[in-house]
Amino acid sequence: MTAAEDALVRIAEDVQQGLQSDLFRSATNAVPGEGPADAKIMFIGEAPGFHEDRQGRPFVGAAGQFLDELLSLAHLKRSDVFITNIVKYRPPNNRDPTPEEIAACKPYLDQQIAAIDPRVIVTLGRFSMNRWFPGGKITRIHGQPRRVEGRLIVPMLHPAAALHRPENRPLIEADFRRLPEILAEAERHETEASSGSDTDDQEPQQLSLF
Ligand code: URA
C-alpha cells in the first residue's frame, strides 16, 4: 500500500468514528468518499443524500447517475477520479449543511486533499465552491479554473441543480466537456513547475487560457 492509500484508509476510519458525534446523530452511514489515492482529479459535492446514506458511498442516487454521464462527457471513468463531499454524513431531510457540520468535516477533507494531492479539484455546488471562493456567485464563475496553491480549482454547478432545472443542463455539460483541456493545462503547469521554470501562486488566480 502506498502512503497515500494508507492515509485514505485512516481518514475513512476517522470519518466512520465521527458518526458517533451528536452532530450527525440522524445519519445511518458515514460517506467518506472513494476513488484512487493517485487520482489527478477530485470532485467535491455537498453532502450525502438518502441513497448515499444507505450505501455509505458518494453520488449513487439520481445526481450520481447524472454525474456518471457528465464524467463520460469529460472522457473520465468513475474509477479514475476521487469523489467526496464537504460534509460526510447526511443532514436530516437533506437540508443544507450547517456551518457547524461543514467545520466538523473540514479536517477530513483537508487530509483527503493532502493525501491525494490532485492537480484539479472540481467543486460541485455552492458549499464546496465557498471553501475556495467565499461569496463567489456560481452563475458567474462556473467552469472557470483558478489556480490556488499550485492546483486548479474549477467551480461547477451541482448536478442536482441541472436535474431540478433542465435549463442548467447544457451549461454543466459544456463545463464538463472542457475538463480534459483543464487537466492538460494543469499537467503542463506541473511539468513546468517541476522543471523550475515557475512558482506556485498562493492567491486565487484566473487563468487566461480560456
Ligand atoms: N449530492 C451530493 O452533494 N453528494 C452526494 O454524495 C450525493 C448527492
The Cα–Cα gap between 156 and 18 comes to 28
The Cα–Cα gap between 155 and 160 comes to 15
pTM exceeds 0.75, yes or no: yes
> Can you tell me which atom of ligand 1 is nearest the CA of 127?
3
Phi, psi dihedral angles at 120 (to 5 degrees): -130, 135
Among 11, 1, 13, 21, which Cα is nearest to 109's? Answer: 11
Q: Whose CA is nearest to atom 7 of ligand 1?
A: 59
Ligand 1, residues 42, 44, 46: which to mutate, most atoms within 8 A of Cβ?
46
Name 208's Cβ contacts closer than 8 Å, sequence gap at least 6: none
Query: Is the pLDDT confidence value at 40 over 90?
Result: yes
Mean pLDDT of the chain: 93
Q: Is the CB of 63 under 6 A from ligand 1?
A: yes
Q: Is the CB of 58 under 6 A from ligand 1?
A: yes
Q: Is the CB of 168 under 6 A from ligand 1?
A: no
The pairing of strands 41-45 and 82-85 is: parallel
Identify the pLDDT of residue 182: 97
Banded model confidence at residue 206, pLDDT cuts 50, 70, 90: low
Q: What are the grid coordinates assigned to 86, written together? A: 464537504
SS3 content of the chain, % helix, strand, coil (to 5): 50, 10, 35
Question: Residue 56: how many CA atoms within 13 Å on its side-chain side?
Answer: 8
Q: Is the CB of 185 under 6 A from ligand 1?
A: no
Among 135, 127, 149, which Cα is nearest to 199's? Answer: 149
Q: Is the CB of 46 under 6 A from ligand 1?
A: yes
**What domains does the chain contain, in order, with CATH numbers?**
3-196 (3.40.470.10)
Q: Is the CB of 91 under 6 A from ligand 1?
A: no
Phi, psi dihedral angles at 60 (to 5 degrees): -115, -5
